[in-house]
Amino acid sequence: MKKVYLDNASTTPLRPEVIQEITKVLTEDYGNPSSTHSLGRNAKSILELSRKSIAKQLNATAQEIIFTSCGTEANNWILRSAVKDLKVTRIITSKIEHHAVLHTAMELQKEYAIQIDFVNVKSNGELDLTHLVELLSEEKKTLVSLMHVNNETGAILDLGRVSRICQEHNVLFHSDTVQSVGKTKIDLQTIPIDFIVASAHKFHGPKGVGFAFVRKNSGLQPLFFGGEQEKGQRPGTEAVHQIAGMAKALELSYQNLEAESQYIASLKDYAIERLKANFPEFKINGENTFHNLLNVILPIEENKTAMLLFHLDMKGIAVSRGSACQSGSIRPSHVLAEMLSEEDLKKPSIRISFSHYNTKEDVDLLIEGLKSI
Ligand code: PLP
């Protein structure tokens, strides 16, 4: 049975060049980057070249890139240290953030009694930036944490505009850019943002590795202690093979960005066209969404909602309902809950997310699969 993988917002298949790079480093470059002998120095050099390469893709400096185990860790680190060390007493975020931000903010509220304010979400899934400005009129030591591309709907935040709003109000700005790094250009010299985070497995790199961009002289302090790695900011022996794989994946993503994103956007258009033809009453959740994400309400009986993903899975088709961590659960997505009517929320929504490895045939098979439910 042909596998149809349309769940690329959850994770992506590795590029062959990335597998090659990881295998090479695992096989040949096994030194500990902290060792002073030649094997160690070689591993250290791979690490630093990877850091430089990643920094270059985002127009940052190498010292501003700190490797972490994943996007979740990077988000946790930035939010926690902002409160603990930078003495932030208020976080402004939104209810449509990934739980890596939302649950961390709620935990910090419990631990440090900080104020949490939520920017209003519009029915098209975008944030109300007028409301953000209103919230910022209250003067407090603040961190704004708003994601760049929403992982469920693909709603896009204007990173440049929000950065400038934050700069004007003299507050810190962090963005969870896990869904956008490697998929759209981000120029950290022109965007005055303080912190962003990334996760390699979202851009055809390995799982279990990510990074934080932390602007120079931020004052952020480590979460962990016990080593000098990452200049003491993130101790622990570095996963050199993962980091080299991540750098390779990011380099290739940006090298092929234009052609691949155009192709992916054309697949999304094709999917919309096929859905229109076969399910005229279908609705898209969100407006002007990111080119690789399509979240739709299907005109399928509500009692079939719970079985929908299972049914598609039986046919070898992988899509998602809301975010990956909620797949299989029948709780409504916390993101869709903020933007849909009660009635629409009860209807089955699926998230279809594309990569350059998908084809029109994959879309056709998905439509056939949906028709047979
Ligand atoms: N933030 C967003 C927007 C995500 O989509 C994800 C992954 O689903 C994460 C954070 C978590 O990243 P990681 O899997 O690297 O912990």
Q: Is the pLDDT of residue 144 over 70?
A: yes
Q: Taking residues 193-218, what's their average pLDDT?
A: 98
Q: Tell me what pLDDT residue 330 has.
A: 61
167 and 52 in one domain? Answer: yes
Closest by CA to 67, choosing from 285, 276, 291, 224, is 224
Pocket residues: Cβ below 6 A from ligand 1: 70-72, 98, 100, 147, 151, 176, 178-179, 199, 210, 324
43 and 59 in one domain? Answer: yes
189 and 75 in one domain? Answer: yes
Q: Tell me what pLDDT residue 157 has.
A: 98
Confidence of residue 30 (pLDDT cuts 50, 70, 90): very high
Q: In percent, how much of the chain has pLDDT > 90?
A: 91
Please, what is the average pLDDT of the chain? 95
245 and 276 in one domain? Answer: no
Q: How many structural domains are present in the chain?
A: 2
235 and 104 in one domain? Answer: yes
Of 255, 276, 294, which marks where a domain is finished?
Answer: 255
Of 238, 255, 272, which marks where a domain is finished?
Answer: 255
- In one letter, which amino acid is 174? H
273 and 300 in one domain? Answer: yes
Q: Tell me what pLDDT residue 22 has.
A: 98
Q: Tell me what pLDDT residue 205 has.
A: 98
Q: What is the pLDDT of residues 329-369, one digit of tens each?
A: 567 799 999 999 988 888 889 999 999 999 999 999 999 99
Q: For the domain that residue 92 is a member of, what is the CATH number?
A: 3.40.640.10
203 and 141 in one domain? Answer: yes
Q: Which residues are catalytic?
A: 325
Q: What is the pLDDT of residues 71-101, one digit of tens each?
A: 999 999 999 999 999 999 999 999 999 999 9
229 and 263 in one domain? Answer: no
Q: Tell me what pLDDT residue 322 has.
A: 53
In 57-203, where do the E strands start and end?
65-68, 90-93, 115-118, 142-145, 172-176, 195-199
Confidence of residue 304 (pLDDT cuts 50, 70, 90): confident
Q: Is the pLDDT of residue 40 over 50?
A: yes
Of 201, 222, 255, which marks where a domain is finished?
Answer: 255
187 and 306 in one domain? Answer: no
Q: For the domain that residue 266 is a member of, what is the CATH number?
A: 3.90.1150.10
Helix or strand or coil: residue 309?
Answer: helix
Q: Tell me what pLDDT residue 329 has.
A: 54
301 and 249 in one domain? Answer: no
Q: Is the pLDDT of residue 323 over 50?
A: no
Residues spanned by the domain of 362: 4-12+256-371
For atom 7 of ligand 1, which residue has the closest CA? 10
For atom 4 of ligand 1, which residue has the closest CA? 178
Q: Tell me what pLDDT residue 307 has.
A: 85
The CA 199 to ligand 1 mean position distance, Å, reads 7
Q: Taking residues 108-118, what's their average pLDDT?
A: 98
Q: Tell me what pLDDT residue 326 has.
A: 43
Closest by CA to 180, choosing from 155, 209, 149, is 149
222 and 128 in one domain? Answer: yes
Instruction: Name 269's Cβ contacts closer than 8 Å, sequence gap at least 6.
Output: none
Q: What is the pLDDT of residues 222-235, one digit of tens each?
A: 999 999 999 999 99
CB atoms within 10 A of CB 225: 8
The CA 293 to ligand 1 mean position distance, Å, reads 15
228 and 194 in one domain? Answer: yes
